[in-house]
Amino acid sequence: MHMFTEPNQQSTNHVLIFDFPVGYHATGTRPNQDYNQTPAKEALYGLVGVPAKEQGHPHISEEFPPEAEDAASQDQIVDADRRIVICHTGRLSGSFAQYLAHDGYVSRIKVYAHPLTGGGAPILLHTHNVDLQPQPQAPNVWYWRNPATLAELLQSVRVDVDAGAAGLDREEVYKLVSKWEFWDVRRPGNERRMPISGFDDAVSFNVINATQNV
């Protein structure tokens, strides 16, 4: 299992679903990657949310400048001398989403690199607390896909990583972990973790020494 969201679906008078949809992303970010090859994922998720969407994994690539030999989208072998860009989009959907869309609720998103080949402690690449009050579409804020319907509340996380400053070792292979939490902060000093959360650990990447264009 490489990803999980909770609750998958709950329904009383209203519906609220949290997922990682394919096909949605804010300007300045990249969409989730749909590997479409994980039987356990497809059996559980297949299509999730309102409207139902395939589920995807974080995007990773290198930028400035890109190299001709790099993969066109997902690039999991990244050069240490180029900026690493990580993007991941989460969604709250269903008729109950509009009731969470204000500053009384906060998402806490963390992105880690867990070393797989050299050992050592996980490295925190990104941490971000942001309330669910919708903003104009942009990276790292919650926004309505369609403000007229108030049905799909999205956040497209964008993380820009300098390998050296982040402490990523060259020639190390890392597991990329994206972890999403939601908290009720309406009562100061009495925060409450909400029964909504998700994580993804499907993507691994290798940081290599600087290379030359071929």
Per-residue pLDDT band at 135 (split at 50, 70, 90)? very high
The pLDDT of residue 38: 53
Count of residues for the chain? 214
What is d(CA 182, CA 108) in angstroms, rounded to the nearest whole number? Answer: 6
Per-residue pLDDT band at 34 (split at 50, 70, 90)? confident
Q: What is the mean pLDDT of residues 183-197?
A: 85
Torsion of CA 143, 148, 150, 154, to 10 degrees: -20
Q: Where are the domains of the chain?
A: 3-208
**pLDDT tens digits for range 98-124:** 999 999 999 999 999 999 998 889 999
With contact defined as beta carbons under 8 Å apart, do 26 and 137 qualify?
yes
The label of the residue with tokens 């998958």 reads 8
Which of 81-85, 156-160, 208-212 is predicted with the least confidence, judged by mean pLDDT? 208-212
Higher pLDDT, 186 or 70: 186
Classify strands 142-144 and 83-93 as parallel, antiparallel or unpaired.
Answer: unpaired
Q: What is the mean pLDDT of the chain?
A: 86
The pLDDT of residue 82: 87
Class of domain 3-208: mainly beta
Torsion of CA 59, 62, 68, 70, to 10 degrees: -50
* 3-state DSSP of the chain: CCEEEECCCEECCCEEEEECECCCCCCCCCCCECCCCCHHHHHHCCCECCCCECECECEEEEECCCCCCCCCCCCCEEECCCEEEEEEEEEEECCCHHHHCCCCEEEEEEEEEEECCCCCCCEEEEEEEEECCCCCCCCCCEEECCCCCCCEEEEEEEEEECHHHHCCCCCCEEEEEEEEEEEECCCCCCCEEEEEEEEEEEEEEEEECCCCCC
With contact defined as beta carbons under 8 Å apart, do 86 and 126 qualify?
yes
For 174, the token pair is: 């890392």
pLDDT at 186 over 90: no
Q: Provide the percentage of residues in the chain whose pLDDT is more than 70.
A: 83
With contact defined as beta carbons under 8 Å apart, do 141 and 153 qualify?
no
pLDDT at 39 over 60: no
